[in-house]
Amino acid sequence: MAQQRDQNVGVYLKTRDKDTVQGLVVVAMDGNNAAVFVNVVGDIKPEQLSMLGERLHIDPLKKLGQQDSK
């Protein structure tokens, strides 16, 4: 869960193995004003999620592709 001011962002993954994510849910809440849920289902490579995180400025997703390189 990432926080910034009154905003909370959570990223939840379902994995098959270390190279394949079978689905993910991103939950973004802006205090008591708004909530956004994004559900992606299907086989997804962590590098693809990292690229999506870069484009949408979602820090927890950005880190997914970096985990294998360590």
Q: What is the pLDDT of residues 8-57, one digit of tens each?
A: 888 888 988 877 889 989 888 887 788 989 898 998 888 888 888 888 77
Whether the CB-CB separation of 21 and 49 falls below 8 Å is answered with yes
State phi, psi for 65 to the nearest 5 degrees.
-70, -20
Structure-model confidence comparison of residues 62 and 2, the more confident one = 62
Residue-wise pLDDT for 55-64, tens only, equals 877 777 787 7
User: How far is 67 from 70, CA to CA, in rounded Å?
Assistant: 6
pLDDT of residue 66: 67
State phi, psi for 62 to the nearest 5 degrees.
-60, -35
